[in-house]
Amino acid sequence: MNDSLNILKERTNLSIMNTYGRYPLALAKGLGCALFDLDGREYLDLLAGIAVTGLGHCHPEITKAVSDQAATLVHVSNLFFTEPAVDLAEALLATWPEGKNGRVFFCNSGAEANEGAIKLARRYMRKVRGEDRYEIITLANSFHGRTLATLTATGQEKVKDGFAPLPEGFTTVEAGNLDALRHAVTPRTAAILLEVIQGEGGVKPFASEYLQGVQALCREKGVLLMVDEIQTGLCRTGKWWAHQHFGLTPDVITVAKSLANGLPMGAVMATGEVAQGFEPGSHATTFGGTPLAAAAATKTLEIMKRDELAKRAARLGAFALSLFRDVAVANPGSIKETRGLGLMLGIELAPAVNAQKVWETLLARGFIVNLTQGSVLRLLPPLVVSEEQLTRFARALGDILKEL
């Protein structure tokens, strides 16, 4: 570890709460799919800030949009009408056919978006439908955020450690088990909240038959279907929204991550019917939908549409999976499974492989990926990543597996 990193690490430990297991790397600059440390060493970023910088780092058009807006109007609160927020809402709803008569609520993060969706579901049931429904059902191995409500909704016990008592009204069931889900639905159930591909859970897509069954159950029981698209949305999986791969028509979608290409921005999208659950004073945020973040997000959506990044993600994702399967064939017994959709990819290493050592060696050789669930190399690269960059990573992974 070099001196500049040691010094920054010490300053961090003395000033910032110890809530992150930070990687042994201090970053100073980014451009496209490249990141540079304090000493100027270049890394290939295949994580994109955990699916956030979808257009790459310091995209010139985003930089200009932010600069122009910062020189015009940054923040006035949601007590006033602002054009950038409406521009963004219209552009966002245009990506979702079911959103033709829908509405958007802007916030600052994925956790806030899911928190807002939970509140909306409960209030819609009570105030619009006049039914005392408040329970939210989620799936084991899911991840929905770290507020008290969203960590309770999350189907991973490790995020709940030390935070009891947790809010009531949440039930978690076995993922992929439709019978267990049906059994969990009661007259108190307001909504089922799920990811169609579990990201933090190890990049695990659900079968189309299961997801169709979940939707049918929601319609049968009068329960809202809420899809967490925070990591999967906005072209990441090869379509604008991951649920579109499976023919789903959600009542509510939550969005964040790549929406503003790095600026804090989240959103709840709901059908016009469900959006009636909110009215003035029922939900609010100080910073959600500021002119600055909205300008960045609107430009992000414009570029994604113009450059057809959903189609590009589908093509490059298929290319990457082919590369990774070749690596698996060349290294028998090293890779258990490769999976994903578009540029949301998981390489699950075999139990005999030291996954932590593989990840550490990749980082040492200039490749930034994420290790989740102890054995899954998760790749969420910028949507502008190239075939050459993906090939370079695959070759490095193959070399490392041979060495280890």
Annotated active-site positions, please?
143, 228, 257
The answer to whether 256 touches 110, Cβ cutoff 8 Å, is: yes
**Is 171 strand, coil or helix?**
strand
Q: Roughly how many angstroms between the first and final C-alpha of the chain, as a whole number? A: 22
Give the C-alpha separation, 75 to 291, whole Å: 6
Which has the closest alpha carbon to 274: 218, 337, 340? 218
DSSP state of 261: B
43: left (phi over 0), alpha (psi -120 to 50) or beta: beta
The tokens for 188 are 């108190």
Handedness of CA 333, 337, 342, 344 (dihedral sign): negative
Q: Tell me whether residue 85 is exposed, middle or buried, using C-beta atoms within 10 angstroms of its C-beta: 0 to 12, 13 to 18, 19 or more.
A: buried
Amino acid at 76: V
CB 28 within 8 A of CB 37: yes
Q: Enumerate residues 6+ apart whose C-beta is below 8 A from 168.
A: none
Cα–Cα nearest to 135, from 178, 169, 183, 112: 169
Question: Do residues 102 and 273 make contact, with C-beta atoms less than 8 angstroms apart?
Answer: no
- 257: three-class secondary structure by DSSP: helix
Give me Rg for the CA atoms of the chain. 21
Q: Where on the phi/psi map is residue 169: left (φ > 0), alpha (ψ -120 to 50), or beta?
A: left
Degrees to nearest 5, angle at CA 246 with 244 and 249? 60
Angle at CA of residue 309, ends 327 and 110, nearest 5°: 90
Cβ atoms of 246 and 220 within 8 Å: the answer is: no
